[in-house]
Amino acid sequence: MILTLLACALLAGLALVAYLSWSFSPRMTVASAGLLSLFLAHGAWKIFRDPTKRRGHRGLAAATTTGFTLTAATAVFLLLYGAGCGCM
């Protein structure tokens, strides 16, 4: 029950941030969503690609991989517990 309540609060917070962002500046919201999508796509690409011997830009790869992993874990959490909160 606590996890369901936490999922509902997280879902409500995400909806509030999206609403406030859109009401402040729709263009900036779309641009930010595009940049976030590129960030997450780069993280997914780094996770699922074949490893290479190159050693460049490891900080960026670590940041995008961590961001993608946290976003995927949050999405799974919301799918499992957010569906039962009755707010959808």
pLDDT value at position 20? 92
State the residue for tokens 């999508």.
37
Q: Structure pTM?
A: 0.74
pLDDT value at position 8? 82
**Domain boundaries along the sequence of the chain:** 2-85
State the residue for tokens 């011997």.
53
Angle between helices 26-48 and 2-24 (to 10 degrees): 130
Query: 3, 9, 1, 32: which is closest to 87 by C-alpha?
Result: 9
Confirm if 29 and 53 have CB atoms less than 8 A apart. no
pLDDT tier at 35, thresholds 50, 70, 90: very high
Residue type, 72: A
State the residue for tokens 């406030």.
20
As a whole number, the mean pLDDT across the chain is 84
pLDDT in tens, 2-31: 778 888 888 888 888 999 999 999 999 999
